[in-house]
Amino acid sequence: MKLLHFISVIAALLVLLVVNQTRPVSGQQAQATPEEWKTVEQAIGKSGSLQPGSVFKIGLPRTDLLVTVHGVAINPFLALGSWIAFKKMGNETVVMGDLVLTEDEVGRVMWSLQESGIEQSALHNHVLDESPRVMYMHIHGHGDAPQLAAAIRRALSYTKTPLGTQPGPTLKKGLPPEVDFHRVEQILGRTGKDNNGVFQFSVARSEKITDGEMEVPPSMGVATAINFQSTGGGRAAITGDFVLLAAEVNPVIHALRENDIAVTALHSHMLTESPRLFFMHFWANDDALKLARGLRAALDKTNSVK
């Protein structure tokens, strides 16, 4: 009898061990899967992808716009990339995003979002001397995921943002050979990726960033973004934004200006983040390797992940 009792106790302990190993730790979210977001994709009319940190992100490049900056025709993936990102928080979903808008679209989109309870946390420029003028609206909301997506879709209906199967201009695939982007990676000390002819870097900060009770992963817009578009003869147009603490702002300005990279905007993107963050946008069109060295000098002034 004692042996049978002992075996029963061991079996019970093993069952408890298995249950505890498969149960999420308190305060953590279960790992998201792409299938969970199908209703969001259907509501928006555009597919997305699962990002690190269980973030579901949908890119909405403004391929309908033909924008030039100082004579450079902008690839939409360089500086015209609207996006929205969703993350589950308990029984709710949080959405953040950045909508690229023409001036005449701003008022109607803002009012539509306000009527749906989706907040605006910033409205500003990213570049200078662009034609036509483009504005960027940062948004934040929480609630039921498909309802949030439907509200954003209604707001986007006041724009010409391509959704579903709407055609856009044909973009060149692959990177042009005149810029050695492998050398650019070596200089920056990071790995980039080709996104429809634009070479992109995303550099996370080392700190934990929160907004209210939610930890904000880098893929929800709190990573430094650096984009290169070849403009011929070994030159590239660069733009993006540095994500900075207050003490880093002026050292980064100095490093960029010292390397002939213009600072085009400095502002916030969120309202209640911790630590407080500033977003610094930049522009230059010059020798790609020279610009990479200037960007590396600026990155070295930040507490970014190495």
Give 72: exposed, middle or buried? Use CB within 10 Å, 0-12, 13-18, 19+: middle
Same domain, 159 and 182: no
Same domain, 133 and 198: no
The verdict on residue 159 lying in a domain is: yes
How many Cβ atoms sit within 10 Å of the Cβ of residue 254? 13
Same domain, 210 and 133: no
For the chain, the domain total comes to 2
Q: Is 32 left (phi over 0), alpha (psi -120 to 50) or beta?
A: beta
* Radius of gyration, alpha carbons of the chain: 22
Residue span of the structural domain in which 63 resides: 37-167
Query: Do residues 122 and 137 touch, judged by C-beta distance below 8 A?
Result: yes
Query: Do residues 145 and 40 touch, judged by C-beta distance below 8 A?
Result: yes
Same domain, 92 and 187: no
Whole-prediction pTM: 0.87
Q: H or E element: which one contains 19?
A: helix 2-22
The verdict on residue 32 lying in a domain is: no
Confidence of residue 18 (pLDDT cuts 50, 70, 90): very low
The tens digit of pLDDT for each residue in 230-250 reads 999 999 999 999 999 999 999
Which residues make Cβ contacts (< 8 Å) with residue 37, sequence separation at least 6?
48, 50, 56, 86, 145
Give residue 191's pLDDT: 97
The verdict on residue 26 lying in a domain is: no
The tens digit of pLDDT for each residue in 253-270 reads 999 999 999 999 999 999
Q: Residue 258: which CATH number? A: 3.30.70
Same domain, 296 and 250: yes
The verdict on residue 215 lying in a domain is: yes
Which residues in 95-124 are b (16+ Cβ under 10 Å) and which e? bbbbbbbbeebbeebbebbeebebebbbbe
Torsion, CA 73, CA 78, CA 80, CA 81, rounded to 10 = 150
Same domain, 90 and 159: yes
User: Per DSSP, which regions of 235-275 are E strands?
Assistant: 235-244, 262-267, 273-274
Residue 19 clears pLDDT 80, i.e. is over it:
no
Which residues make Cβ contacts (< 8 Å) with residue 88, sequence separation at least 6?
29, 32, 36, 54, 94, 145
Same domain, 129 and 216: no
The verdict on residue 92 lying in a domain is: yes
Same domain, 275 and 215: yes
DSSP-derived letter for residue 27 is T
The verdict on residue 2 lying in a domain is: no
Give residue 235's pLDDT: 97
* DSSP structure string for 103-141: HHHHHHHHHHHHHTT-EEEEEE-SSSSEES-EEEEEEEE
Give residue 34's pLDDT: 74
Domain boundary among 149, 167, 185: 167
The tens digit of pLDDT for each residue in 72-104 reads 999 999 999 999 999 999 899 999 999 999 999
Mean pLDDT calculated for residue range 209-214: 92
Same domain, 114 and 219: no
Same domain, 159 and 178: no
Domain boundary among 167, 200, 235: 167
The verdict on residue 68 lying in a domain is: yes
Torsion sign across C-alpha atoms 240, 246, 248, 254: positive
**Which of the two residues, 291 and 169, has the higher pLDDT score?**
291
Gap between the Cα atoms of 42 and 38, Å rounded: 6
Nearest C-alpha neighbor of 67 from the set 125, 133, 126: 133
Same domain, 97 and 163: yes
Residue 21 clears pLDDT 50, i.e. is over it:
no
The tens digit of pLDDT for each residue in 22-43 reads 444 333 445 567 788 999 999 9
The verdict on residue 290 lying in a domain is: yes
Same domain, 195 and 130: no
Integer distance in angstroms from the first to the last C-alpha of the chain?
Answer: 61
Domain boundary among 136, 151, 167: 167
Residue 61 clears pLDDT 60, i.e. is over it:
yes
